[in-house]
Chains A and B, each alone.
Chain A
Amino acid sequence: MTVILDRPPVTLTGDGALKTPYRPRILGVGTATSAAVYSQQEVLDAFAITDPKIRSVFANSAIDRRHLTLPEPGTDGVRAPEPQGDLLDKHKAMAVEMGAEALRACLKRAGAELSDLRHLCCVSSTGFLTPGLSALMIRELGIDRHCSRSDIVGMGCNAGLNALNVVAGWSAAHPGELAVVLCTEACSAAYAMDSSMRTAVVNSLFGDGAGAIALMSGPGDEASGTTEGPTVLKFASCIIPEAIGAMRYDWDRELDRFSFYLDPQIPYVVGAHAEIVVDRLLGDTGLRRSDIGHWLVHSGGKKVIDAVVVNLGLTRHDLRHTVGVLRDYGNVSSGSFLFSYERLLDEQVTRPGDYGVLMTMGPGSTLETALVQW
């Protein structure tokens, strides 16, 4: 006996809905990391960090391991922090290397070739580059010189969904043409080190990683090369201007380098706005929160994940991939939610008609969301 209960109908006329004849589908995903993996203990040992308060931050991070590219040890076996110039070089090299691997893996899963690529949007916040990553990637991989491109820089952990929003629009306007969003973050190039809790929290959290997704819209077969990916239906954003300084990556004059700052209150501030943005995303669609079968939330950190779970009334099962990705990779910034998306696909539990919500959080402070349907 087969049982089919009616799927709730979805209305897509409100703000943020893609009101186009053809909505883009996600055709493939790929991820990559830097080569070396470190446990939290190994990172502490590598920099000879003995302060019990800092060690405690690392121990309570809900992170088992991260991929990092650390400086070579000195003659005493201890690694000294690199100067800012070296960090920028590291960002450039690592972002391109991981980005190329993630892009290739994504295209392979989508059943596409590099020569099919018509738009490449590169996302990164862990270093500054001109020309940007899209240009470097095109040179590195020998992508067609006429490939349309864009770079989203400096938007932080949420940027993957800002990029998806813009590229979904590009894709809807270019049926049958392949677009890729590539988030590539060399978080090893974005650390600062002193004895403060400010840097301890940041240094315990981030890891290197890149994630790519391919999109295509079309009247039918063009966009159905694979059957595993969902269609992108709608976006909703919520910025919290009163918390504009709560997450920032800016110049630290004392340390003479860029330094990331995370306000201790920010997990709760983000959590308190999670319902607002999800209600807006589902508003006018006819969908209830309980109609959402799959939640893919940015692996921002243990506290922010807890706050999102509580405020959205989710279960630990709902955010199993978010928690698992944090445990295995740390926070890989803008590409984190793509690691979760890849794990969800690998589980093979999504069914045609299922709804999913993607959610990322970052500086602004901001929450970005997308509604998708398999």
Chain B
Amino acid sequence: MEVREGESIQKAIDSLEKGDTVKVFPGIYHEFLFVDKTHFTLSGVIVNGKWPVLDGEAKLNDGVIGSGANFLIENFHIKNYKANGVMTQGAGNIIMRKLIVENTGIYGIYPTMGTNVVVEDTVSLGIADAAIYIGMCHNVDVRRNEVYGSVIGIEIENSTNVLIEGNTVYDNSAGIVAFALPGLPLKKVENVIIRKNFIFDNNHRNFAEPGALVAGVPPGIGIGVMAGDEVTIEGNIIRRNSFAGIGIGDNNLLPNSKSPDPDVEPNPDRNKVLENVFIDNGSRKWNDFISWIFYVIRVVFSGNPIPESPNGGKVGIFPEGYDIVASGKGKDNCLSSPDSVTKIGTSEYGICSPKESTEQIKTMIGDPKLGEAKSDARELGKQVFGAVCSGCHSMTLRTVGPPIKEIQDKYKKDVYGVVSFASMPKKVREGFIEMPSQKYLGNEKLTAVANYILNLKDEGSKGVVK
């Protein structure tokens, strides 16, 4: 299905079944899109360098929200939405790639609650919270993205099995962060690899909305780990981040992140900082006397060294000027070459084993079944059968209608035959009442149930069909 400028993308989405592709040609579209179907592809077509643009004009809420598994979105320029650029909710097997996302109010690219999520080859800028935000997901690859001019470049929140590789992250308040936050249904950040990224000049003024969680993030952080476990940082180039190249701490770091959640373990454990390149981190440039005075006054009165921190929360005073700044208690953390980095707070850190490497891990994406909708067609067929058909049809006995065995003998593998009969039944057998039309179930359910019926095996008295 093709959509051209002046037509509605949403109309096209709504008119299609699952497993379809909508191709959107270049032009400007002022729409917010919702995809509540599985196996769906939303694909922009780029003609002579012109992209299809989704423009919310600062009036619409979100660019795209997907809730179906196996969703792919690519080749869109998404800008000026009040909330998020692209978001998926509860859906797995997601691919988001080749997107430009700019000036969206909260997050740029935001998959939540999904398993098997790929975010690659995107550019995000000017996002007032996290440009790429991995929220409560499992098995995620974030690769080769460029993120700049945002409060947080890439944020991993309460997710497990995440690979962040080959991204270019600059001019944000903080580059890449992994946070375990309290008060959410999933309780930890675990098994994260941050590898081979370019992370430089993340000193942007923090322009998050006051009260937002990230409003308390001090500008000047390359990589931040808060209460995360098993985060491995390897092979990154980390340059000119004025507060700290890498900051690792517990849940007391931010005014809003102190953990009142008994299920969130607040300390960073088993994190590994392997070989990285650190250049000129932790040298905050105070180029005028006035700022210094204000800074000292603020620290004295609030104990809070962070210029843009809201709520007057205490964050703990870090000295400045280090490649690696650590705070809080944590167990079994290690550094590869502690002597070649400037560091503070790492006295409890061990030395990582020289054999330690993440090289053999190429991806975190797992079996697609994990991300599939639990209900494949068969499951749907089973449900429809249980809800609708089983009242009148049993496997071998004649109840109200003929037994399934007879239907199977008659139709063999002719799914369509069953579907069309069920849509427009005729009286066939003497002594049986005519079946009411099942057309109201719609094509998807009828096809699923017809497949289910024709493949149903007689399990005898067990009555369970595997």
A and B physically associate: no
State the B residues within 8 Å of A (CB). none
